[in-house]
Amino acid sequence: MPMSKEMVTPGPLKGRLVLDMSRVLAGPWAGQLLADLGARVIKIERPERGDDTRGWGPPWLEDVVGDPVEAAYYLCANRGKQSLAVDITHPDGQVLIRELAARADILLENFKADGLRKYGLDRASLAERNPRLIYCSITGFGQDGPYAHRAGYDFMIQAMGGLMSVTGDPDGMPMKTGVAITDVMTGLYATIGVLAALDERERTGRGRHVDVALLDVQVACLANQALNALVAGRDPQRHGNAHPNIVPYQAFACADGYLVLTVGNDAQFARLAALLGRPEWASDPAYATNGARVANRERLVPLIAECLLCRERDTWLSAFEEQGIPAGPINTVSEALNDPQVRHRGMVASLQRDDIAIPQVANPLRFDGDSRTSPMPPPALGQDSDSVLREMGLSDDDIARLRREGIVG
């Protein structure tokens, strides 16, 4: 559904200024969340081509005559921001960033560790003028350690961080997830970190350097699988669409398609057994408890699979819902976006930029029933450069000179 500025009340971060000097996904994701929460976010981009993801297409968003405008990838993580195109390698560009940082509450960056020091835009340099600045560095491996100098990308971090080893079919190749989940989770952790630092600053008056590493986040997000390894003293194995700790908790084939069955406790299993015409399973010591079902999954799962093949998917799903047995269809992305519950919750939205409608997936947060999705569409490259620079006190002649010299775009 289309959104207007009237649809979104001022957010809890209204009045806060964020400089988003990050690119690609993890940092921009954090910047978009802060914008959704009401902060003013100025995206700092290179004048010549901007964020790398502007060119990561197809697919492309097209204008009214069918010409490509921007890649869908860029549009997923830059809602609610202004775009200021500045060449930070030029001394005059560095002056502009330092001036903005002196006024900012939060700065996000994802350059290599210490990569901004040569420009005088590192945390120590900027904190001299603005000790209240919360400076968040997002890197592949953190600010210290033997890998600190390396670049890090989501795919390789999923591999190094153990996620791929537990993803995929048992007899197949380890697999990455279909979404750059480590980047997304790193953006979430970065947001949590800067918000905690912002709260602390109310008491101390001083900012923090928040250090967030993709590898750290990936290891942290191994969750139960990490503890499975630490407690058992051996590596978890891939189970495909099954669960290492719960049975039955996996995908099954039906007569005409697939569904996911997620039985989370023994009472649900008893209802499932009755529905499948095998009520004796609920009292069988081999299946009555989850621990027993995990130990005997090789016997039990084929029996359940045989039962489910006898009826159509939607017939089973209706029966499961009636009995309070958690289950769901395996939707395509388009089916998920068009699901009645997803649509009812307003998770698919549209923002207008000039004469182009830009589709968006909404922020899932609601405050007092109001969506926390910014009504501002992802910006065109440098679309706000002039207004931001004028606000900083530069004259039109100053701006024209900077643009002639390629320092701003």
**Comparing C-alpha atoms, which of 360, 361, 409, 356 is closest to residue 386?**
409
CA distance 384 to 144: 36
Task: Tell me if residue 87 is catalytic.
Answer: no
Task: Tell me the CA distances in angstroms from 307 to 163, 252, 295, one per residue in order.
Answer: 32, 10, 21
Per the CB < 8 A criterion, the answer to whether 100 and 129 are in contact is no
Per the CB < 8 A criterion, the answer to whether 201 and 229 are in contact is no
Find the catalytic residue in 20, 51, 183, 216.
183
CA distance 402 to 329: 56
Q: pLDDT value at position 7? A: 46
Q: pLDDT value at position 3? A: 53
Residue type, 211: D
Chain center to CA of 165: 21
Classify residue 269 as left (phi > 0), alpha (psi -120 to 50) or beta.
alpha
For the whole model, what pTM was predicted?
0.93
Tokens found for residue 244: 């290492």
CA distance 176 to 159: 8
Per the CB < 8 A criterion, the answer to whether 168 and 175 are in contact is yes
Label residue 81 exposed, middle or buried (CB < 10 Å: 0-12, 13-18, 19+). Answer: buried
CA distance 260 to 177: 17
Q: pLDDT value at position 219? A: 98
Q: pLDDT value at position 63? A: 87
CA distance 232 to 223: 14
For 291-301, the pLDDT digits (tens) are: 999 999 999 99
Helices in 150-296 by DSSP H: which ranges?
154-160, 181-204, 214-220, 223-232, 266-275, 290-295
DSSP state of 381: T
Residues of the chain where predicted confidence (pLDDT) is lower than 70 = 1-8
Tokens found for residue 71: 């890649």
For 146-188, the pLDDT digits (tens) are: 999 999 999 999 999 999 999 999 999 999 999 999 999 999 9
3-state secondary structure of 290: helix
Task: Tell me the CA distances in angstroms from 143 to 111, 131, 135, one per residue in order.
Answer: 11, 20, 13
CA distance 277 to 244: 26
